[in-house]
């Protein structure tokens, strides 16, 4: 009951005129920043952090949390409408969001993304409110072996994404992981895989460069080829009835939405994980759970709903270790943590006692932000749809330019823009030969986490791989991952054996 009373107090704080205004402004700003390719919540929060010194700390964190949420919603917009991930957290949304838009179902995808974000945010706030202290202990129980096991599970869920061509899927994962290791060795600090001694490789390969290269430039090159010189205009119509119908249709996806929310929240609370791995894992699990996994990547609404529910849930989840332990769960929360320290607030268990109004004001404002972001997003669906009505000969060059500027913005290095072009061309050439590209993106995101956790685990165990199976949590996750890895190989062999047997009989 104490928690509920504190939460109610938090709502009173969140609905104070200044705070409510900041929530709405934060959502709008976040939505816009998140929708720009290459920019995500981390850019918005970092850029607008100094502005928050003009208001009290509680209002400041409320504004930044609203911005964080708005950016989570906004990231999906350019993923769906343009096929370029607006933010790293929206990469998985591109896989099915863009095909849906091309089929004339952009309104369904946008409404699905917004509603799933709302559900993900709501479930995660409930979990946050009810279980913050015990969940912080769970997060702490995750050592390097458990983290590595979780990464293996994420890769395992993606094995099926390449269809029957298993070696190409494995290849895609391996090359993504190798690219993630470019830069400085995380332990010794020595330069590693610095191709042609180009200085741009020292800061590693930003995964947005790969994602925008493949899904922005590569996709555009593909579409230009498919267009064969014709003027393409995607047929779109948007009506209020259509939006209501789209909302009703989402009932079929409630299981996936719920799974994405829970998974996203738990991945979010793990230190250093955050919303991007959460959304990619939710996509993989949704596909694994689906009765029609082959429709994923071709415009399945579940492929939009799962990652969107997960990335919003994870954004709330990543606040948990930040507030309770002082450990940021994502790059954005790391900046928020810096802001809290500047405002004179010390994160940790005492924060819940000494600055109750701050913590519960923040939690309540997260909920308010969630609601406003949903409302704003749905209200703007018709405006977003206008983008698709543009002829392709106007849209394509605009997308190319957004890719270039978006690829430059995160590191502000032209080296990355060239790299993005190389990835775009390679992605286009490989796609023509059925190489699955989504696992490559997943691998470059999870690579640094996977490498750090495997090396730390092996150092702890003096080189014994048994450590991954001896600990109960990591052992269980590892066994599930191995099962998922083996399943497509097993089912392919079984299929071939059966067809061979029938062939022999026939």
Binding site for another protein (CB under 8 A): 33, 36, 39, 43, 47, 165, 167-168, 170-171, 174-175, 177-178, 181, 185, 187-188, 190, 192-193, 195, 217, 220-221, 224-225, 227-229, 231, 391, 393-394, 396-398, 400-401, 404-405, 408-409, 412, 414, 417-418, 421, 424-425, 428-430, 432-435, 451, 454-456, 458-459, 463
In the complex, least distance from residue 281 CB atom to another protein, rounded to whole angstroms: 20
What are the start-end ranges of the H helices in 318-470?
319-325, 331-342, 351-354, 356-386, 392-408, 414-431, 438-460, 467-470
CA dihedral of 32, 67, 131, 12, whole degrees rounded to 10: -120
d(CA 461, CA 275): 29
Task: Please identify, using beta-carbon distances, which residue of 195 and 502 lies nearer to another protein.
Answer: 195
Contact (Cβ atoms closer than 8 angstroms) between residue 85 and residue 78? yes
In the complex, least distance from residue 484 CB atom to another protein, rounded to whole angstroms: 18
Q: Is 225 helix (H, G, I), strand (E, B) or coil?
A: helix
In the complex, least distance from residue 506 CB atom to another protein, rounded to whole angstroms: 20
Q: Is 328 helix (H, G, I), strand (E, B) or coil?
A: coil
d(CA 18, CA 10): 14
Task: Please identify, using beta-carbon distances, which residue of 358 and 423 lies nearer to another protein.
Answer: 423
Task: Please identify, using beta-carbon distances, which residue of 39 and 362 lies nearer to another protein.
Answer: 39
Smallest CA-to-CA distance from 210 within 74, 432, 410, 434 is with: 410
d(CA 87, CA 159): 24
d(CA 431, CA 95): 13
In the complex, least distance from residue 224 CB atom to another protein, rounded to whole angstroms: 5
Which residues partner with 461 through β-bridges? none
Task: Please identify, using beta-carbon distances, which residue of 15 and 174 lies nearer to another protein.
Answer: 174
In the complex, least distance from residue 266 CB atom to another protein, rounded to whole angstroms: 26
Write the DSSP symbol of residue 329.
S
d(CA 28, CA 67): 8
Q: Residue 178: left if φ>0, alpha if ψ -120 to 50, beta else—which one?
A: alpha
Task: Please identify, using beta-carbon distances, which residue of 224 and 342 lies nearer to another protein.
Answer: 224
In the complex, least distance from residue 355 CB atom to another protein, rounded to whole angstroms: 31
d(CA 405, CA 303): 27
In the complex, least distance from residue 253 CB atom to another protein, rounded to whole angstroms: 30
In the complex, least distance from residue 131 CB atom to another protein, rounded to whole angstroms: 35
**Parallel/antiparallel/unpaired status of strands 191-192 and 183-184:** antiparallel
In the complex, least distance from residue 116 CB atom to another protein, rounded to whole angstroms: 28
Task: Please identify, using beta-carbon distances, which residue of 33 and 442 lies nearer to another protein.
Answer: 33
Helix (H) or strand (E) segment spanning residue 183? strand 183-184
Contact (Cβ atoms closer than 8 angstroms) between residue 453 and residue 142? no
In the complex, least distance from residue 128 CB atom to another protein, rounded to whole angstroms: 30
Task: Please identify, using beta-carbon distances, which residue of 226 and 476 lies nearer to another protein.
Answer: 226
In the complex, least distance from residue 167 CB atom to another protein, rounded to whole angstroms: 4
d(CA 445, CA 435): 18
Write the DSSP symbol of residue 28.
H
Task: Please identify, using beta-carbon distances, which residue of 155 and 372 lies nearer to another protein.
Answer: 155
Task: Please identify, using beta-carbon distances, which residue of 213 and 271 lies nearer to another protein.
Answer: 213
Task: Please identify, using beta-carbon distances, which residue of 4 and 394 lies nearer to another protein.
Answer: 394
Contact (Cβ atoms closer than 8 angstroms) between residue 80 and residue 113? yes
Task: Please identify, using beta-carbon distances, which residue of 367 and 428 lies nearer to another protein.
Answer: 428
Smallest CA-to-CA distance from 52 within 338, 246, 418 is with: 338
Task: Please identify, using beta-carbon distances, which residue of 226 and 239 lies nearer to another protein.
Answer: 226
Write the DSSP symbol of residue 192.
E
Q: Helix axis angle, 438-460 relative to 166-180, nearest 10°?
A: 60
CB under 8 Å to 236, separation ≥6 — which residues?
Answer: 104, 106, 107, 385, 388, 389
Task: Please identify, using beta-carbon distances, which residue of 202 and 408 lies nearer to another protein.
Answer: 408
In the complex, least distance from residue 104 CB atom to another protein, rounded to whole angstroms: 22
- Any idea which residue has 């992605």 for tokens? 427
Contact (Cβ atoms closer than 8 angstroms) between residue 75 and residue 90? yes
In the complex, least distance from residue 244 CB atom to another protein, rounded to whole angstroms: 33
Q: What tokens does 122 get?
A: 């709501």
């Amino acid at each position: 009951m104490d928690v509920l009373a504190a939460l109610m107090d938090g709502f009173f704080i969140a609905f104070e005129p200044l705070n409510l205004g900041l929530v709405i402004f934060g959502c709008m700003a976040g939505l816009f920043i998140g929708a720009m390719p290459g920019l995500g919540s981390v850019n918005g929060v970092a850029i607008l952090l100094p502005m928050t010194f003009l208001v009290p700390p509680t209002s400041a964190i409320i504004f930044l949390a609203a911005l964080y949420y708005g950016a989570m919603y906004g990231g999906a917009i350019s993923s769906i409408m343009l096929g370029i991930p607006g933010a790293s957290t929206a990469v998985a949304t591109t896989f099915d969001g863009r095909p849906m838009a091309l089929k004339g179902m952009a309104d369904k995808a946008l409404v699905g993304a917004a509603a799933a974000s709302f559900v993900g945010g709501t479930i995660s706030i409930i979990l946050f409110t009810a279980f913050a202290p015990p969940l912080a202990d769970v997060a702490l129980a995750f050592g390097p072996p458990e983290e590595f096991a979780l990464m293996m599970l994420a890769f395992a869920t993606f094995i099926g994404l390449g269809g029957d061509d298993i070696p190409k899927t494995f290849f895609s994962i391996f090359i993504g992981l190798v690219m993630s290791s470019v830069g400085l060795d995380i332990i010794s600090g020595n330069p590693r895989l610095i191709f042609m001694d180009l200085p741009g490789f020292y800061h590693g390969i930003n995964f947005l460069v790969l994602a925008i290269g493949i899904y922005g430039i590569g996709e555009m090159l593909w579409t230009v080829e498919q267009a064969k010189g014709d003027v393409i205009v995607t047929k779109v119509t948007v009506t209020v009835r259509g939006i209501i119908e789209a909302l009703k249709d989402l009932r079929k996806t409630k299981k996936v939405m719920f799974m994405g929310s829970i998974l996203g929240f738990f991945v979010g609370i793990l230190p250093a994980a955050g919303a991007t791995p959460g959304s990619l894992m939710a996509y993989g699990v949704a596909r694994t759970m689906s009765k029609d996994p082959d429709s994923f990547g071709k415009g399945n609404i579940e492929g939009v709903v799962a990652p969107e529910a997960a990335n919003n849930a994870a954004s709330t989840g990543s606040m948990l270790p930040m507030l309770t332990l002082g450990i940021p769960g994502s790059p954005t929360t790391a900046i928020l943590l810096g802001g809290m320290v500047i405002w004179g607030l010390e994160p940790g268990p005492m924060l819940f006692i000494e600055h109750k109004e701050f913590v519960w004001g923040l939690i309540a404002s997260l909920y308010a932000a969630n609601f406003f972001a949903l409302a704003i997003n749905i209200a703007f669906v018709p405006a977003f749809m206008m983008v698709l009505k543009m002829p392709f000969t106007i849209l394509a060059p605009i997308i190319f330019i957004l890719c270039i500027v978006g690829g430059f913005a995160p590191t502000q290095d032209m080296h990355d823009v060239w790299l993005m072009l190389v990835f775009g061309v390679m992605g286009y050439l490989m796609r023509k030969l059925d190489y699955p590209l989504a696992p490559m993106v997943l691998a470059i995101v999870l690579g640094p986490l996977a490498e750090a956790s495997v090396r730390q685990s092996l150092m702890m165990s003096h080189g014994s791989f048994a450590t991954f199976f001896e600990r109960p949590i990591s052992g269980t996750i590892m066994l599930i991952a191995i099962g998922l890895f083996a399943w497509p190989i097993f089912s392919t062999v079984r299929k071939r054996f059966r067809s061979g047997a029938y062939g022999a009989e026939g």
